[in-house]
């Protein structure tokens, strides 16, 4: 491993296909142990970003680095450091699960390939299917094999293109759990997804692209707050009484408040910073809190962003 900087870095990375600018000066970074989700409509540049980082495409401008290795100038070092799960992993259907993963372990010239393969299969939950032909597996199991193959050399960086695409809810949840486990062990994960609820649960931060441009980058909470306002909803076990009203209305961070019989919504100056203090004030005013949640979700924030004119476009 090299350098102490971010595990994944893009600095003003651009890529054209003919006249079309697929990626427009993208700048972002992913730390070790972090999961960053790339979101955006079809054709917004998500796969292009992953392919550049995986050394499969050259950037036309800017710099992309994995563990400080430049993807354009040091592709071999980059390839050793990354695990890649393409959207359609090209597994060998006529070979067993184990043979598919072993092939990659050998390609990486791992000294203890058998141990590495066994560990990767166990981690991905397909050890009991190691003798089965990949062609006989369900889509979810194939995705798990693809993940086992991507991690067999224990790469510090993972690039995953729609890892849960086509999976049923339980299989998708299992995939989410595996990705979180890898991040907990220190792996930096950059993934593409169209599943916004999944991104909200799984990703430490999300980046929203549109027409190759980065429009939002932050925690799901920050992105929601930026697009939907810093609105928090609180549900109480009993009715709203005078001390509770006073506690909220005297809190300087509250810009606006809407009262329900046993609930309130308020706009805070900064939801991330002020929600804990709001809760503390409510509790000391005797409120019995059932739920506190930011209003809206990442999906609403995303749709709001997509309904706005693109900054710099004629309509903006
Ligand atoms: N090999 C290629 N040749 C020509 N154009 C390409 C190529 N790869 C991507 N593009 C174009 O670049 C743009 C970005 O494509 P990209 O695949 O990165 O989008 P995406 O955000 O991953 O989309 P999706 O959500 O549909 O997977 C699109 O306009 C696409 O048509």
Confidence of residue 225 (pLDDT cuts 50, 70, 90): confident
Q: Encode pLDDT of 303-316 as tens digits.
A: 989 988 887 765 54
> Looking at ligand 1, which atom is closest to the CA of residue 209?
21
Instruction: Give the rounded percent of residues in the chain with a pLDDT score beyond 90.
Output: 83
What pLDDT was estimated at residue 49?
Answer: 98
Q: How far is CA 58 from CA 48, 70, 73, 93, 231, in A?
A: 10, 11, 10, 30, 42
Q: How confident is the model over 82-101, as a mean pLDDT?
A: 93
Confidence of residue 152 (pLDDT cuts 50, 70, 90): very high
Domain co-membership, 125 together with 108: yes
Q: What is the pLDDT of residues 172-218, one digit of tens each?
A: 898 999 999 999 999 999 999 999 999 999 999 999 999 999 999 99
- 22 and 104 both lie in a single domain: yes
Residue 126 lies in a domain: yes
- Alpha carbon nearest to ligand 1 atom 29, residue: 43
Write out the DSSP string of 105-123.
Answer: HHHTT-TTHHHHHHHHHHH
The residue contributing the CA closest to ligand 1 atom 31 is 43
Q: What is the pLDDT of residue 311?
A: 76
List the CATH number of the domain containing 247. 3.30.70.100
Q: Is 42 in the pocket of ligand 1 (CB under 6 A)?
A: yes
User: In this model, does residue 3 exceed pLDDT 90?
Assistant: no
Average pLDDT over residues 103-124: 93
Residue of minimum CA distance from atom 7 in ligand 1: 17
Residue bearing the CA closest to ligand 1, atom 17:
47
What's the mean pLDDT in 81-85?
Answer: 96
Averaged pLDDT, 246-256 = 95
Average pLDDT of span 230-252 = 95
Is 94 exposed, middle or buried (CB count within 10 Å of its CB: 0-12, 13-18, 19+)?
A: exposed
Task: Establish if 171 belongs to a structural domain.
Answer: yes
Span from the CA of 125 to the centroid of ligand 1 (angstroms): 32
Most informative mutation of 23, 43, 59 for ligand 1 (most atoms within 8 A of CB):
43
Task: Provide the pLDDT for residue 316.
Answer: 46
Q: Same structural domain for residues 234 and 216? A: no
Ligand 1 atom at minimum distance from 41 CA: 25
Measured by CA distance, the residue closest to atom 26 of ligand 1 is 42
Same domain, 59 and 181: yes
Ligand 1: centre distance to CA 53 (Å): 15
Mean pLDDT of the chain: 93
pLDDT grade for 88, boundaries at 50, 70 and 90: confident
Together in a domain, 215 and 234: no
Count of domains observed in the chain: 2
- Ligand 1 atom closest to the Cα of residue 47 is 22
2 has pLDDT over 80: no
Is the C-beta atom of 14 inside 6 A of ligand 1? no
Q: Answer with the one of 198, 222, 246 that is the final residue of a domain.
A: 222
Contacts 24+ apart (CB under 8 A), 275-284: 275/232, 277/251, 277/253, 278/232, 278/234, 278/248, 278/251, 278/253, 278/254, 279/234, 281/247, 281/248, 281/251, 282/234, 282/236, 282/244, 282/247, 282/248, 284/247
Give the residue numbers spanning the domain of 249: 230-294
- 166 pLDDT band (50/70/90 cuts)? confident
């Amino acid at each position: 491993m090299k350098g102490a900087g971010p595990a994944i870095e893009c600095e003003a990375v651009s890529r054209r296909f003919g006249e079309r600018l697929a990626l427009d000066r993208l700048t972002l970074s992913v730390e070790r142990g972090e999961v960053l989700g790339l979101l955006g409509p079809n054709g917004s540049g998500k796969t292009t970003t992953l392919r550049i980082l995986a050394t499969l495409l050259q950037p036309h401008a800017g710099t992309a680095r994995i563990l400080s290795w430049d993807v354009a100038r040091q592709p071999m070092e980059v390839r050793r450091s990354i695990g890649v799960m393409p959207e359609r992993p090209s597994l060998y259907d006529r070979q067993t699960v184990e043979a598919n993963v072993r092939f990659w372990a050998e390609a990486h010239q791992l000294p203890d390939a058998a141990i590495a393969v066994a560990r990767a299969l166990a981690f991905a939950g397909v050890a009991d299917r190691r003798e089965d032909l990949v062609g006989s597996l369900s889509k979810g199991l194939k995705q798990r094999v693809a993940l086992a193959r991507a991690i067999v050399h224990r790469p510090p960086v993972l690039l995953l293109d729609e890892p849960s695409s086509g999976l049923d809810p339980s299989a998708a949840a299992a995939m989410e759990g595996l990705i979180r486990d890898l991040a907990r062990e220190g792996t930096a994960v950059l993934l593409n997804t169209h599943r916004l609820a999944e991104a909200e649960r799984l990703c430490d931060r999300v980046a929203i692209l549109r027409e190759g441009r980065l429009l939002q980058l932050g925690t799901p909470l920050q992105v929601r707050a930026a697009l939907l306002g810093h609105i928090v909803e609180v549900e109480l076990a009993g009715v709203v009484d005078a001390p509770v009203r006073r506690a909220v209305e005297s809190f300087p961070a509250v810009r606006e408040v809407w009262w329900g019989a046993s609930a309130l919504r308020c706009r805070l100056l900064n939801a991330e910073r002020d929600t804990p203090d709001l809760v503390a004030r409510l509790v000391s005013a005797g409120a019995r809190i059932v739920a506190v949640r930011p209003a809206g979700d990442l999906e609403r924030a995303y749709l709001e962003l997509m309904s706005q004119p693109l900054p710099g476009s004629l309509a903006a």
